[in-house]
């Protein structure tokens, strides 16, 4: 499908009552067989584009945050979202970005992901991806602010 939020909302509403009926293992199995593959499929077409971001697939995944366990949600995002997110950031940082926009972009994504699923930040691998992004941003900012120092280091020690 198109990963539209409306369809996801309807599916969430349809499956929610079963959470109370099924035991935990059966519920996780149902999500793993019936829901996670569809969410991953929706994310397959997702592109991170700071200039023109389409959020449909990500919002579709986040619509399930209340029903998926944090472990399942984190695993899905680590596989389908964070590699592209970090790659887009690295590419953007190499293009002399507006640092205010970079900051807004980082904070916006973090808020978008954590608002429906605050427990995501407790996942060590998810936190590591956010930390990696901040590290890249800070390194790029440092490099931009100290071009003379970087040039001197690259030129070797004349002295």
Tens digit of each residue's pLDDT (9 = 90 or more) over 20-73: 898 989 988 999 998 999 999 989 889 999 988 999 999 999 999 989 989 999
What is the distance between the alpha carbons of residues 113 and 26, in angstroms, rounded to a whole number?
Answer: 26
Confidence class for position 1, pLDDT limits 50, 70, 90: very low
How many Å separate Cα 57 from the centre of its chain?
A: 11
Q: Tell me: the pLDDT tens digits for 138-155?
A: 999 998 887 655 555 566
Between 151 and 2, whose confidence is greater?
Answer: 151
The answer to whether the CB of 63 falls within 8 A of the CB of 9 is: yes
pLDDT digits (tens, 9 = 90+) for 69-116: 899 999 999 999 999 999 999 999 999 899 999 999 999 999 999 999
Question: Whole-angstrom Cα distance, residue 50 to residue 60?
Answer: 19
Are 97 and 141 within 8 A, CB to CB?
no
Q: What is the DSSP letter of 63?
A: T
Claim: this prediction has a pTM higher than 0.85: no
DSSP string, 110-156: HHHHHTT-GGGGGSHHHHHHHHHHHHHHHHHHHHHH-HHHHHHHHH-
């Amino acid at each position: 499908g198109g990963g539209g939020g409306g369809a996801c909302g309807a599916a969430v509403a349809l499956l929610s009552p079963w959470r109370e009926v099924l035991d935990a293992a059966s519920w996780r199995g149902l999500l793993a067989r019936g829901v996670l593959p569809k969410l991953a499929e929706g994310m397959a077409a997702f592109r991170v584009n700071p200039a023109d971001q389409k959020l449909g697939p990500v919002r579709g995944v986040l619509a399930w945050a209340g029903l998926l366990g944090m472990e399942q949600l984190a695993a899905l995002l680590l596989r389908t979202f964070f590699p592209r997110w970090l790659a887009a950031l690295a590419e953007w940082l190499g293009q002399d970005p507006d640092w205010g926009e970079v900051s807004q972009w980082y904070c916006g994504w973090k808020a978008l992901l954590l608002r429906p699923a605050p427990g995501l930040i407790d996942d060590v691998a998810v936190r590591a991806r956010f930390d990696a992004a901040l590290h890249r941003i800070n390194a790029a900012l440092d490099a931009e602010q100290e071009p003379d120092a970087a040039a001197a280091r690259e030129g070797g020690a004349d002295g």
